[in-house]
Amino acid sequence: MKKATIKVTAILVLLVLALASLASAGAEGGKVYRTLDEIKESGKINIGVFSDKNPFGYVDENGEYQGYDVYFARRIGKDLGVEVNFVSTEAANRVEYLETGKVDIILANFTVTAERAEKVDFALPYMNVALGVVSPKSRVIRDLSEIGAEDQVIVISGTTAEDYLIKNNPEIQLQKYDTYANAKTALENGSAVAWANDNTEVIAFALENEGYEVGIPSLGSQDTIAPAVSKGNETLLAWINEEIIALAEEKFFHADYEATLVDTYGLDYEESLVLEGGGQAK
Amino acid sequence: MQSLGVEVLFKGKNFARLMGGMWTALKISLVSIAISMVLGLLLGMLVSRKNRVLRGVMRCYLEFIHIMPQMVLLFLVFFGTSKAFGWNLSGELSSVIVFSLWGTAEMSDLVRGAVTSVPKIQYESAMALGMTPAQVNRYVILPQAVRRLIPQSINLITRMIKTTSLVLMVGVVEILKVAQQIIEANRKASPNAAFGVYLTVFLLYFLLCWPVSLLAKHLEKRWG
Protein backbone atom coordinates (compact mmCIF):
# COMPACT_ATOMS: atom_id res chain seq x y z
CA MET A 1 0.00 0.00 0.00
CA LYS A 2 1.24 3.45 -0.84
CA LYS A 3 1.83 5.91 1.98
CA ALA A 4 -0.79 8.32 0.66
CA THR A 5 -3.40 5.56 0.52
CA ILE A 6 -2.69 4.58 4.11
CA LYS A 7 -3.09 8.19 5.18
CA VAL A 8 -6.38 8.55 3.37
CA THR A 9 -7.70 5.31 4.85
CA ALA A 10 -6.71 6.39 8.34
CA ILE A 11 -8.47 9.74 7.94
CA LEU A 12 -11.56 8.00 6.61
CA VAL A 13 -11.72 5.58 9.51
CA LEU A 14 -11.41 8.49 11.96
CA LEU A 15 -14.17 10.36 10.13
CA VAL A 16 -16.56 7.43 10.28
CA LEU A 17 -15.79 6.92 13.99
CA ALA A 18 -16.44 10.59 14.68
CA LEU A 19 -19.75 10.42 12.82
CA ALA A 20 -20.74 7.28 14.68
CA SER A 21 -20.04 8.79 18.10
CA LEU A 22 -21.92 11.90 17.08
CA ALA A 23 -24.85 9.75 16.07
CA SER A 24 -24.98 7.82 19.33
CA ALA A 25 -24.65 11.04 21.34
CA GLY A 26 -27.56 12.54 19.43
CA ALA A 27 -29.76 9.51 19.94
CA GLU A 28 -29.48 9.67 23.72
CA GLY A 29 -30.78 13.18 24.11
CA GLY A 30 -34.22 14.24 22.93
CA LYS A 31 -37.14 12.10 21.89
CA VAL A 32 -37.64 11.07 18.30
CA TYR A 33 -41.34 10.25 18.49
CA ARG A 34 -44.50 12.36 18.55
CA THR A 35 -46.83 12.04 21.53
CA LEU A 36 -50.56 11.40 21.19
CA ASP A 37 -51.34 15.10 21.64
CA GLU A 38 -48.77 16.16 19.07
CA ILE A 39 -50.26 13.74 16.54
CA LYS A 40 -53.79 14.98 17.19
CA GLU A 41 -52.64 18.56 16.91
CA SER A 42 -50.95 17.98 13.56
CA GLY A 43 -54.13 16.37 12.23
CA LYS A 44 -52.14 13.62 10.54
CA ILE A 45 -50.73 10.27 11.64
CA ASN A 46 -47.94 8.50 9.77
CA ILE A 47 -48.49 4.75 9.65
CA GLY A 48 -45.94 2.42 8.08
CA VAL A 49 -47.54 -0.43 6.15
CA PHE A 50 -46.47 -2.86 3.45
CA SER A 51 -47.45 -1.88 -0.06
CA ASP A 52 -46.68 -5.21 -1.73
CA LYS A 53 -47.98 -7.77 0.74
CA ASN A 54 -51.44 -8.85 -0.39
CA PRO A 55 -53.75 -9.33 1.56
CA PHE A 56 -52.21 -7.58 4.61
CA GLY A 57 -50.97 -4.39 3.07
CA TYR A 58 -51.04 -3.68 -0.64
CA VAL A 59 -52.08 -1.06 -3.17
CA ASP A 60 -55.06 -1.76 -5.41
CA GLU A 61 -55.42 -0.77 -9.06
CA ASN A 62 -56.75 2.65 -8.08
CA GLY A 63 -53.65 3.42 -6.06
CA GLU A 64 -55.47 2.97 -2.72
CA TYR A 65 -53.87 1.12 0.19
CA GLN A 66 -55.86 -2.02 1.15
CA GLY A 67 -55.55 -5.07 3.39
CA TYR A 68 -55.96 -6.39 6.95
CA ASP A 69 -53.36 -4.01 8.47
CA VAL A 70 -54.62 -1.08 6.42
CA TYR A 71 -58.24 -1.68 7.51
CA PHE A 72 -57.10 -1.35 11.13
CA ALA A 73 -54.92 1.68 10.30
CA ARG A 74 -57.93 3.48 8.80
CA ARG A 75 -59.95 2.77 11.96
CA ILE A 76 -57.14 4.19 14.11
CA GLY A 77 -57.17 7.35 12.02
CA LYS A 78 -60.94 7.64 12.27
CA ASP A 79 -61.05 7.14 16.05
CA LEU A 80 -58.18 9.57 16.60
CA GLY A 81 -59.89 12.05 14.32
CA VAL A 82 -56.84 12.49 12.12
CA GLU A 83 -55.91 11.82 8.52
CA VAL A 84 -53.80 8.71 7.85
CA ASN A 85 -50.63 9.13 5.84
CA PHE A 86 -49.53 5.66 4.67
CA VAL A 87 -45.79 5.14 4.36
CA SER A 88 -44.55 2.24 2.22
CA THR A 89 -42.11 0.18 4.31
CA GLU A 90 -40.00 -2.92 3.63
CA ALA A 91 -39.46 -5.76 6.10
CA ALA A 92 -35.83 -4.73 6.51
CA ASN A 93 -36.45 -1.10 7.52
CA ARG A 94 -39.46 -1.28 9.85
CA VAL A 95 -37.42 -0.96 13.05
CA GLU A 96 -35.44 2.00 11.67
CA TYR A 97 -38.63 3.85 10.79
CA LEU A 98 -39.71 3.70 14.44
CA GLU A 99 -36.27 4.34 15.89
CA THR A 100 -36.08 7.57 13.94
CA GLY A 101 -39.71 8.57 14.44
CA LYS A 102 -40.27 8.74 10.69
CA VAL A 103 -43.58 6.97 11.27
CA ASP A 104 -45.77 7.02 14.39
CA ILE A 105 -46.98 3.41 14.16
CA ILE A 106 -45.83 0.36 12.23
CA LEU A 107 -48.74 -1.82 11.13
CA ALA A 108 -46.83 -4.01 8.73
CA ASN A 109 -47.49 -7.59 9.79
CA PHE A 110 -44.93 -7.02 12.52
CA THR A 111 -44.29 -10.21 14.53
CA VAL A 112 -43.55 -9.64 18.24
CA THR A 113 -40.07 -10.92 19.17
CA ALA A 114 -37.92 -10.30 22.23
CA GLU A 115 -35.15 -8.91 20.06
CA ARG A 116 -37.40 -6.35 18.41
CA ALA A 117 -39.02 -5.45 21.72
CA GLU A 118 -35.66 -4.05 22.82
CA LYS A 119 -35.83 -1.47 20.07
CA VAL A 120 -39.54 -0.72 19.72
CA ASP A 121 -42.62 -0.90 21.94
CA PHE A 122 -45.29 -3.40 20.91
CA ALA A 123 -48.96 -2.81 21.67
CA LEU A 124 -51.48 -5.63 22.23
CA PRO A 125 -51.46 -8.21 19.43
CA TYR A 126 -54.22 -8.47 16.83
CA MET A 127 -53.25 -11.66 14.99
CA ASN A 128 -51.63 -15.08 15.52
CA VAL A 129 -48.79 -16.33 13.40
CA ALA A 130 -46.20 -19.09 13.17
CA LEU A 131 -43.54 -19.83 10.59
CA GLY A 132 -44.31 -22.00 7.58
CA VAL A 133 -42.42 -23.44 4.63
CA VAL A 134 -43.91 -23.72 1.13
CA SER A 135 -42.38 -25.77 -1.68
CA PRO A 136 -43.36 -27.00 -5.16
CA LYS A 137 -45.59 -30.11 -5.30
CA SER A 138 -42.94 -31.88 -7.36
CA ARG A 139 -40.75 -31.98 -4.26
CA VAL A 140 -42.62 -31.10 -1.09
CA ILE A 141 -40.40 -30.35 1.90
CA ARG A 142 -42.16 -31.80 4.97
CA ASP A 143 -39.26 -31.50 7.36
CA LEU A 144 -36.25 -29.23 7.46
CA SER A 145 -34.00 -32.31 7.43
CA GLU A 146 -35.13 -32.97 3.84
CA ILE A 147 -33.27 -29.87 2.72
CA GLY A 148 -29.97 -31.01 1.27
CA ALA A 149 -26.58 -29.37 1.58
CA GLU A 150 -26.82 -28.13 -2.02
CA ASP A 151 -30.36 -26.75 -1.67
CA GLN A 152 -31.25 -23.15 -0.98
CA VAL A 153 -34.20 -21.74 0.93
CA ILE A 154 -35.70 -18.33 0.17
CA VAL A 155 -36.18 -15.90 3.04
CA ILE A 156 -36.90 -12.19 3.19
CA SER A 157 -34.33 -10.03 4.95
CA GLY A 158 -35.44 -8.75 8.34
CA THR A 159 -38.19 -11.33 8.88
CA THR A 160 -38.60 -13.75 11.78
CA ALA A 161 -38.10 -16.67 9.38
CA GLU A 162 -34.61 -15.43 8.55
CA ASP A 163 -33.73 -15.09 12.25
CA TYR A 164 -35.16 -18.50 13.09
CA LEU A 165 -33.24 -20.37 10.38
CA ILE A 166 -29.96 -18.60 11.11
CA LYS A 167 -30.28 -19.40 14.81
CA ASN A 168 -31.66 -22.94 14.69
CA ASN A 169 -30.56 -24.33 11.33
CA PRO A 170 -27.34 -22.57 10.38
CA GLU A 171 -26.50 -25.41 7.97
CA ILE A 172 -29.31 -24.41 5.61
CA GLN A 173 -28.23 -22.15 2.77
CA LEU A 174 -30.40 -19.05 2.56
CA GLN A 175 -31.30 -17.02 -0.50
CA LYS A 176 -32.26 -13.55 0.71
CA TYR A 177 -34.54 -11.01 -0.91
CA ASP A 178 -35.51 -7.49 0.11
CA THR A 179 -39.07 -7.47 -1.18
CA TYR A 180 -41.96 -9.93 -1.08
CA ALA A 181 -42.56 -9.53 -4.80
CA ASN A 182 -39.03 -10.63 -5.65
CA ALA A 183 -39.03 -13.56 -3.20
CA LYS A 184 -42.24 -14.99 -4.69
CA THR A 185 -41.00 -14.51 -8.23
CA ALA A 186 -37.78 -16.33 -7.31
CA LEU A 187 -39.73 -19.30 -5.92
CA GLU A 188 -41.83 -19.44 -9.07
CA ASN A 189 -38.68 -19.41 -11.14
CA GLY A 190 -37.40 -22.41 -9.21
CA SER A 191 -34.26 -20.72 -7.95
CA ALA A 192 -34.65 -22.39 -4.54
CA VAL A 193 -36.33 -25.53 -3.14
CA ALA A 194 -38.60 -23.74 -0.67
CA TRP A 195 -39.65 -20.42 0.82
CA ALA A 196 -39.81 -19.89 4.58
CA ASN A 197 -41.94 -17.08 5.97
CA ASP A 198 -44.87 -16.33 8.28
CA ASN A 199 -47.33 -19.21 7.74
CA THR A 200 -50.08 -16.75 6.76
CA GLU A 201 -47.93 -15.68 3.85
CA VAL A 202 -47.00 -19.15 2.64
CA ILE A 203 -50.54 -20.56 3.09
CA ALA A 204 -51.86 -17.67 1.00
CA PHE A 205 -49.20 -18.32 -1.62
CA ALA A 206 -50.04 -22.05 -1.86
CA LEU A 207 -53.77 -21.31 -2.07
CA GLU A 208 -53.27 -18.74 -4.82
CA ASN A 209 -50.72 -20.60 -6.90
CA GLU A 210 -51.23 -24.01 -8.47
CA GLY A 211 -48.52 -26.57 -7.82
CA TYR A 212 -47.33 -25.43 -4.41
CA GLU A 213 -47.91 -26.99 -1.01
CA VAL A 214 -47.19 -25.88 2.53
CA GLY A 215 -45.21 -28.92 3.66
CA ILE A 216 -44.40 -27.41 7.05
CA PRO A 217 -47.41 -25.38 8.27
CA SER A 218 -46.05 -24.55 11.70
CA LEU A 219 -42.40 -24.18 12.54
CA GLY A 220 -40.99 -22.82 15.77
CA SER A 221 -43.17 -21.21 18.39
CA GLN A 222 -46.58 -19.55 18.02
CA ASP A 223 -46.08 -15.82 17.70
CA THR A 224 -48.33 -12.81 17.50
CA ILE A 225 -48.58 -9.80 15.24
CA ALA A 226 -48.95 -6.43 16.91
CA PRO A 227 -48.77 -2.70 16.19
CA ALA A 228 -45.49 -1.11 17.25
CA VAL A 229 -44.55 2.42 18.26
CA SER A 230 -41.22 4.13 18.95
CA LYS A 231 -39.53 3.06 22.19
CA GLY A 232 -40.91 5.14 25.05
CA ASN A 233 -43.93 6.59 23.27
CA GLU A 234 -46.22 5.77 26.19
CA THR A 235 -49.18 8.01 25.40
CA LEU A 236 -49.65 6.58 21.93
CA LEU A 237 -49.03 3.02 23.14
CA ALA A 238 -51.66 3.35 25.88
CA TRP A 239 -54.17 4.78 23.42
CA ILE A 240 -53.65 1.90 20.95
CA ASN A 241 -54.03 -0.69 23.74
CA GLU A 242 -57.31 0.89 24.90
CA GLU A 243 -58.49 1.01 21.31
CA ILE A 244 -57.76 -2.69 20.73
CA ILE A 245 -59.59 -3.67 23.92
CA ALA A 246 -62.54 -1.42 23.06
CA LEU A 247 -62.74 -2.82 19.53
CA ALA A 248 -63.25 -6.36 20.90
CA GLU A 249 -66.83 -5.29 21.79
CA GLU A 250 -67.80 -5.05 18.16
CA LYS A 251 -65.57 -7.97 17.08
CA PHE A 252 -63.67 -5.53 14.90
CA PHE A 253 -60.89 -7.88 13.83
CA HIS A 254 -63.39 -10.55 12.80
CA ALA A 255 -65.00 -7.93 10.58
CA ASP A 256 -61.54 -6.98 9.35
CA TYR A 257 -60.79 -10.64 8.53
CA GLU A 258 -64.06 -11.00 6.68
CA ALA A 259 -63.43 -7.84 4.71
CA THR A 260 -59.84 -8.47 3.72
CA LEU A 261 -58.55 -11.98 4.41
CA VAL A 262 -61.53 -14.22 3.65
CA ASP A 263 -60.87 -14.23 -0.10
CA THR A 264 -57.42 -15.62 0.53
CA TYR A 265 -57.85 -17.97 3.48
CA GLY A 266 -61.52 -18.84 3.49
CA LEU A 267 -63.40 -18.98 6.81
CA ASP A 268 -61.43 -22.03 8.07
CA TYR A 269 -58.55 -20.00 9.42
CA GLU A 270 -60.60 -17.17 10.95
CA GLU A 271 -60.61 -18.37 14.56
CA SER A 272 -56.99 -19.50 14.53
CA LEU A 273 -55.66 -16.26 13.02
CA VAL A 274 -57.76 -13.49 14.53
CA LEU A 275 -57.09 -12.12 18.02
CA GLU A 276 -59.61 -9.79 19.66
CA GLY A 277 -58.74 -7.45 22.49
CA GLY A 278 -55.14 -8.61 22.49
CA GLY A 279 -56.26 -12.15 23.35
CA GLN A 280 -57.21 -11.11 26.91
CA ALA A 281 -60.95 -10.71 26.40
CA LYS A 282 -61.56 -14.32 25.42
CA MET B 1 -49.78 -19.41 -25.48
CA GLN B 2 -49.69 -18.14 -21.96
CA SER B 3 -50.56 -14.49 -21.49
CA LEU B 4 -47.65 -12.19 -20.75
CA GLY B 5 -49.55 -10.57 -17.93
CA VAL B 6 -49.36 -7.11 -19.51
CA GLU B 7 -53.15 -6.80 -19.15
CA VAL B 8 -52.88 -5.92 -15.45
CA LEU B 9 -51.36 -2.61 -16.51
CA PHE B 10 -54.66 -1.58 -18.01
CA LYS B 11 -56.69 -2.28 -14.88
CA GLY B 12 -57.90 0.80 -13.04
CA LYS B 13 -55.25 3.49 -12.75
CA ASN B 14 -52.35 1.05 -12.93
CA PHE B 15 -50.72 2.49 -16.04
CA ALA B 16 -51.02 6.06 -14.76
CA ARG B 17 -49.47 4.89 -11.48
CA LEU B 18 -46.55 3.34 -13.32
CA MET B 19 -46.02 6.57 -15.24
CA GLY B 20 -46.24 8.47 -11.95
CA GLY B 21 -43.52 6.20 -10.58
CA MET B 22 -41.41 6.87 -13.64
CA TRP B 23 -41.86 10.63 -13.16
CA THR B 24 -40.75 10.32 -9.53
CA ALA B 25 -37.60 8.44 -10.60
CA LEU B 26 -36.98 10.94 -13.39
CA LYS B 27 -37.45 13.94 -11.10
CA ILE B 28 -34.96 12.62 -8.56
CA SER B 29 -32.40 11.80 -11.22
CA LEU B 30 -32.81 15.06 -13.19
CA VAL B 31 -32.38 17.29 -10.13
CA SER B 32 -29.40 15.27 -8.88
CA ILE B 33 -27.79 15.20 -12.32
CA ALA B 34 -28.14 18.98 -12.69
CA ILE B 35 -26.58 19.55 -9.26
CA SER B 36 -23.81 16.99 -9.91
CA MET B 37 -22.85 18.44 -13.27
CA VAL B 38 -22.50 22.01 -11.97
CA LEU B 39 -20.78 21.16 -8.66
CA GLY B 40 -18.68 18.44 -10.28
CA LEU B 41 -17.39 20.85 -12.91
CA LEU B 42 -16.50 23.49 -10.31
CA LEU B 43 -14.87 21.04 -7.88
CA GLY B 44 -13.07 19.25 -10.70
CA MET B 45 -11.56 22.53 -11.90
CA LEU B 46 -10.50 23.40 -8.35
CA VAL B 47 -8.89 20.03 -7.75
CA SER B 48 -6.85 20.17 -10.95
CA ARG B 49 -4.99 23.10 -9.35
CA LYS B 50 -2.06 22.05 -7.27
CA ASN B 51 -3.39 22.85 -3.80
CA ARG B 52 -2.45 19.99 -1.49
CA VAL B 53 -5.02 20.64 1.25
CA LEU B 54 -7.86 20.90 -1.23
CA ARG B 55 -6.69 17.73 -2.97
CA GLY B 56 -6.49 15.86 0.33
CA VAL B 57 -10.02 16.84 1.32
CA MET B 58 -11.41 15.93 -2.09
CA ARG B 59 -9.55 12.63 -2.04
CA CYS B 60 -11.24 11.72 1.26
CA TYR B 61 -14.65 12.72 -0.06
CA LEU B 62 -14.16 10.71 -3.22
CA GLU B 63 -12.88 7.60 -1.46
CA PHE B 64 -15.74 7.78 1.03
CA ILE B 65 -18.35 7.89 -1.74
CA HIS B 66 -16.51 5.20 -3.74
CA ILE B 67 -16.36 2.61 -0.97
CA MET B 68 -19.93 3.18 0.26
CA PRO B 69 -22.70 1.29 -1.51
CA GLN B 70 -25.42 3.77 -2.54
CA MET B 71 -27.91 1.86 -0.39
CA VAL B 72 -25.80 2.50 2.73
CA LEU B 73 -25.53 6.18 1.83
CA LEU B 74 -29.32 6.34 1.48
CA PHE B 75 -29.86 4.78 4.90
CA LEU B 76 -27.19 7.05 6.38
CA VAL B 77 -28.87 10.19 5.08
CA PHE B 78 -32.50 9.13 5.55
CA PHE B 79 -32.32 7.39 8.94
CA GLY B 80 -28.87 8.49 10.14
CA THR B 81 -29.52 12.22 10.04
CA SER B 82 -32.73 11.93 12.01
CA LYS B 83 -31.00 9.78 14.63
CA ALA B 84 -27.96 12.02 14.90
CA PHE B 85 -29.39 15.49 14.40
CA GLY B 86 -33.15 15.00 14.60
CA TRP B 87 -33.65 16.15 10.98
CA ASN B 88 -36.72 14.69 9.40
CA LEU B 89 -35.72 14.56 5.74
CA SER B 90 -38.24 13.15 3.28
CA GLY B 91 -37.33 10.11 1.22
CA GLU B 92 -37.20 12.19 -1.96
CA LEU B 93 -34.90 14.83 -0.45
CA SER B 94 -32.60 12.16 1.02
CA SER B 95 -32.40 10.52 -2.39
CA VAL B 96 -31.52 13.78 -4.11
CA ILE B 97 -28.84 14.48 -1.48
CA VAL B 98 -27.27 11.02 -1.87
CA PHE B 99 -27.40 11.04 -5.65
CA SER B 100 -25.95 14.56 -5.77
CA LEU B 101 -23.12 13.62 -3.41
CA TRP B 102 -22.35 10.56 -5.49
CA GLY B 103 -22.71 12.33 -8.86
CA THR B 104 -20.62 15.29 -7.76
CA ALA B 105 -17.82 13.04 -6.54
CA GLU B 106 -17.65 11.01 -9.74
CA MET B 107 -18.14 14.05 -11.98
CA SER B 108 -15.36 16.02 -10.28
CA ASP B 109 -13.02 13.08 -10.76
CA LEU B 110 -13.94 12.88 -14.44
CA VAL B 111 -13.39 16.64 -14.83
CA ARG B 112 -10.04 16.43 -13.09
CA GLY B 113 -9.01 13.63 -15.42
CA ALA B 114 -10.17 15.52 -18.49
CA VAL B 115 -8.50 18.80 -17.47
CA THR B 116 -5.17 17.20 -16.62
CA SER B 117 -5.22 15.28 -19.88
CA VAL B 118 -5.10 18.54 -21.86
CA PRO B 119 -1.43 18.78 -22.94
CA LYS B 120 0.70 21.23 -20.96
CA ILE B 121 1.72 23.05 -24.11
CA GLN B 122 -1.84 24.31 -24.45
CA TYR B 123 -1.54 26.21 -21.16
CA GLU B 124 1.87 27.52 -22.01
CA SER B 125 0.86 28.71 -25.47
CA ALA B 126 -2.22 30.43 -24.11
CA MET B 127 -0.22 32.14 -21.40
CA ALA B 128 2.37 33.20 -23.97
CA LEU B 129 -0.43 34.91 -25.90
CA GLY B 130 -1.02 37.05 -22.83
CA MET B 131 -4.24 35.46 -21.58
CA THR B 132 -5.10 35.60 -17.90
CA PRO B 133 -5.46 32.23 -16.08
CA ALA B 134 -9.25 32.69 -16.11
CA GLN B 135 -9.24 33.27 -19.84
CA VAL B 136 -7.00 30.25 -20.37
CA ASN B 137 -9.54 28.09 -18.54
CA ARG B 138 -12.57 29.61 -20.21
CA TYR B 139 -11.36 29.66 -23.84
CA VAL B 140 -8.68 27.00 -24.10
CA ILE B 141 -8.86 24.31 -21.44
CA LEU B 142 -12.58 23.88 -20.76
CA PRO B 143 -13.69 23.51 -24.40
CA GLN B 144 -11.16 20.72 -24.87
CA ALA B 145 -11.90 19.11 -21.52
CA VAL B 146 -15.66 19.07 -22.04
CA ARG B 147 -15.25 17.16 -25.29
CA ARG B 148 -13.25 14.48 -23.51
CA LEU B 149 -15.85 14.38 -20.78
CA ILE B 150 -18.90 13.45 -22.82
CA PRO B 151 -18.66 9.65 -23.04
CA GLN B 152 -17.94 9.12 -19.35
CA SER B 153 -20.41 11.66 -18.04
CA ILE B 154 -23.16 10.14 -20.17
CA ASN B 155 -22.27 6.81 -18.65
CA LEU B 156 -22.56 8.41 -15.19
CA ILE B 157 -25.96 9.95 -16.02
CA THR B 158 -27.46 6.67 -17.19
CA ARG B 159 -26.06 4.91 -14.13
CA MET B 160 -27.68 7.54 -11.91
CA ILE B 161 -31.05 7.09 -13.62
CA LYS B 162 -30.88 3.32 -13.22
CA THR B 163 -29.76 3.45 -9.60
CA THR B 164 -32.95 5.33 -8.61
CA SER B 165 -34.39 1.82 -8.32
CA LEU B 166 -32.79 1.77 -4.84
CA VAL B 167 -34.81 4.66 -3.42
CA LEU B 168 -37.77 2.36 -2.72
CA MET B 169 -35.79 1.36 0.39
CA VAL B 170 -36.37 4.80 1.91
CA GLY B 171 -40.09 4.76 1.23
CA VAL B 172 -40.09 6.53 -2.13
CA VAL B 173 -42.63 4.85 -4.37
CA GLU B 174 -40.87 4.99 -7.73
CA ILE B 175 -41.32 2.94 -10.89
CA LEU B 176 -39.99 -0.36 -9.54
CA LYS B 177 -42.03 -0.19 -6.32
CA VAL B 178 -45.22 0.58 -8.28
CA ALA B 179 -44.40 -2.42 -10.49
CA GLN B 180 -44.02 -4.66 -7.44
CA GLN B 181 -47.27 -3.34 -5.97
CA ILE B 182 -49.12 -4.10 -9.19
CA ILE B 183 -47.67 -7.61 -9.45
CA GLU B 184 -48.51 -8.32 -5.82
CA ALA B 185 -52.08 -6.99 -5.92
CA ASN B 186 -52.82 -9.16 -8.97
CA ARG B 187 -50.91 -12.33 -8.17
CA LYS B 188 -54.11 -14.33 -7.93
CA ALA B 189 -55.84 -13.10 -11.08
CA SER B 190 -52.73 -12.77 -13.25
CA PRO B 191 -49.95 -15.01 -11.99
CA ASN B 192 -47.82 -14.12 -14.99
CA ALA B 193 -47.93 -10.41 -14.31
CA ALA B 194 -44.31 -10.42 -13.09
CA PHE B 195 -43.03 -11.00 -16.61
CA GLY B 196 -45.22 -8.47 -18.38
CA VAL B 197 -44.83 -5.76 -15.78
CA TYR B 198 -41.05 -6.10 -15.44
CA LEU B 199 -40.80 -6.13 -19.25
CA THR B 200 -42.68 -2.83 -19.30
CA VAL B 201 -40.39 -1.44 -16.60
CA PHE B 202 -37.41 -2.48 -18.70
CA LEU B 203 -38.85 -0.64 -21.70
CA LEU B 204 -39.52 2.48 -19.61
CA TYR B 205 -35.96 2.57 -18.27
CA PHE B 206 -34.77 2.09 -21.83
CA LEU B 207 -36.91 5.05 -22.95
CA LEU B 208 -35.32 7.16 -20.22
CA CYS B 209 -31.73 6.25 -21.02
CA TRP B 210 -31.77 5.86 -24.81
CA PRO B 211 -32.30 9.59 -25.62
CA VAL B 212 -29.35 10.43 -23.35
CA SER B 213 -27.12 8.06 -25.31
CA LEU B 214 -28.38 9.51 -28.61
CA LEU B 215 -27.61 13.03 -27.42
CA ALA B 216 -24.11 11.91 -26.47
CA LYS B 217 -23.48 10.46 -29.91
CA HIS B 218 -24.75 13.62 -31.53
CA LEU B 219 -22.54 15.86 -29.38
CA GLU B 220 -19.49 13.70 -29.92
CA LYS B 221 -19.93 13.96 -33.69
CA ARG B 222 -20.52 17.70 -33.62
CA TRP B 223 -17.65 18.56 -31.31
CA GLY B 224 -15.37 15.70 -32.19
Q: Is residue A11 part of a domain?
A: no
- Measured torsion, CA atoms of residues B84, B87, B92, B93, in degrees rounded to the nearest 10: -100
- Write the residue in A26, A63, A66 that is nearest to B17 by C-beta: A63
Q: Is residue B48 part of a domain?
A: yes
Q: Are residues A65 and A184 in the same domain?
A: no
More confident residue, B168 or A8: B168
For residue A228, name the pLDDT band (cuts at 50, 70, 90). very high
pLDDT of A11:
62
Domain range for residue B83?
Answer: 6-223
Q: Are residues A100 and A238 in the same domain?
A: yes
Asked if A8's CB is within 8 angstroms of B185's CB, the reply is no
Q: Are residues A119 and A234 in the same domain?
A: yes
CATH of the domain at A140: 3.40.190.10
Asked if A87's CB is within 8 angstroms of B85's CB, the reply is no
- pLDDT tens sequence across A69-125: 999 999 999 999 999 999 999 988 999 999 999 999 999 999 999 999 999 999 999
- Give the Cα separation of B100 and B33 in Å (integer): 7
CATH of the domain at B195: 1.10.3720.10
Q: Identify residue A49 by its one-letter amino acid code.
A: V
For residue A43, name the pLDDT band (cuts at 50, 70, 90). very high
Q: Is residue B70 part of a domain?
A: yes
Asked if A11's CB is within 8 angstroms of B79's CB, the reply is no
Q: Are residues A122 and A234 in the same domain?
A: yes
Interface with chain B: mutation pick from A19, A24, A52, highest number of B CBs within 10 Å: A52
Q: Is residue A7 part of a domain?
A: no
CB B75 within 8 A of CB A96: yes
Q: Are residues A53 and A190 in the same domain?
A: no
- Indicate whether B170 pLDDT > 60: yes
> How many Å lie between the alpha carbon of B103 and the closest alpha carbon of chain A?
20
Average pLDDT, chain B: 90
DSSP A177-246: ESSHHHHHHHHHTTSSSEEEEEHHHHHHHHHHSTTEEEEEEEEEEEEEE--EEETT-HHHHHHHHHHHHH
Q: State mean pLDDT over A239-255.
A: 95
For chain A, what is the domain count?
A: 2
Q: Is residue A173 part of a domain?
A: yes
- pLDDT tens sequence across A248-266: 999 999 999 999 999 888 8
Q: Are residues A153 and A122 in the same domain?
A: no
Q: Is residue B113 part of a domain?
A: yes
CB A219 within 8 A of CB A130: yes
Interface with chain A: mutation pick from B68, B82, B174, B175, highest number of A CBs within 10 Å: B82
Q: Are residues A203 and A238 in the same domain?
A: no
Q: Is residue A23 part of a domain?
A: no
Q: 3-state SS string over chain A? A: CCHHHHHHHHHHHHHHHHHHHHHHHHHHCCCCCCCHHHHHHHCEEEEEEECEECCCEEECCCCCEECHHHHHHHHHHHHHCCEEEEEEECHHHHHHHHHCCCCCEECCCCECCHHHHCCEEECCCCEEEEEEEEEEHHHCCCCHHHCCCCCEEEEECCCHHHHHHHHHCCCCEEEEECCHHHHHHHHHCCCCCEEEEEHHHHHHHHHHCCCEEEEEEEEEEEEEECCEEECCCHHHHHHHHHHHHHHHHHCHHHHHHHHHHHHHHCCCCHHHHECCHHHCCC
Interface with chain A: mutation pick from B24, B81, B172, B184, highest number of A CBs within 10 Å: B184
Q: Are residues A134 and A114 in the same domain?
A: no
- Give the Cα separation of A174 and A165 in Å (integer): 8
Q: Are residues A193 and A68 in the same domain?
A: no
pLDDT of A271:
86
Q: Is residue A172 part of a domain?
A: yes
Q: State mean pLDDT over B118-127.
A: 91
Q: Is residue A255 part of a domain?
A: yes
Cβ contacts (< 8 Å) between B11 and chain A: which residues?
A: 61
- pLDDT tens sequence across B130-141: 999 889 988 998
Q: Is residue B184 part of a domain?
A: yes
pLDDT of A282:
41
- pLDDT tens sequence across A168-213: 999 999 999 998 889 999 999 999 999 999 988 898 889 888 899 9
- Indicate whether A27 pLDDT > 60: no
pLDDT of A9:
61
Instruction: Please identify, among A176, A202, A223, the residue that sits at the C-terminal boundary of a domain.
Output: A223
> How many Å lie between the alpha carbon of A274 and the closest alpha carbon of chain B?
22
- pLDDT tens sequence across B54-87: 888 988 999 999 899 999 999 999 999 988 888 8
For chain B, what is the domain count?
A: 1
Q: Are residues A199 and A234 in the same domain?
A: no
Triad A188, A192, A196: Cα angle to 5°: 90
The SS3 of residue A109 is: coil
- Indicate whether B203 pLDDT > 80: yes
Q: List residues in chain B touching A: CB distance below 8 A.
A: 8, 11-14, 17, 56, 59-60, 63-64, 67, 75, 78-80, 82-86, 88, 168-171, 173, 177, 180-188, 191, 194
- Indicate whether A235 pLDDT > 50: yes
pLDDT of A186:
94
Q: Is residue A1 part of a domain?
A: no
pLDDT of A57:
94
Q: Are residues A73 and A206 in the same domain?
A: no
Q: Is residue B1 part of a domain?
A: no
Complex ipTM above 0.90? Answer: no
The SS3 of residue A59 is: strand
Q: Is residue A26 part of a domain?
A: no
Q: Are residues A139 and A115 in the same domain?
A: no
Domain range for residue A75?
Answer: 36-126+226-279
- pLDDT tens sequence across A114-164: 999 999 999 999 999 889 999 999 999 999 999 999 999 999 999 999 999
Asked if A52's CB is within 8 angstroms of B180's CB, the reply is yes
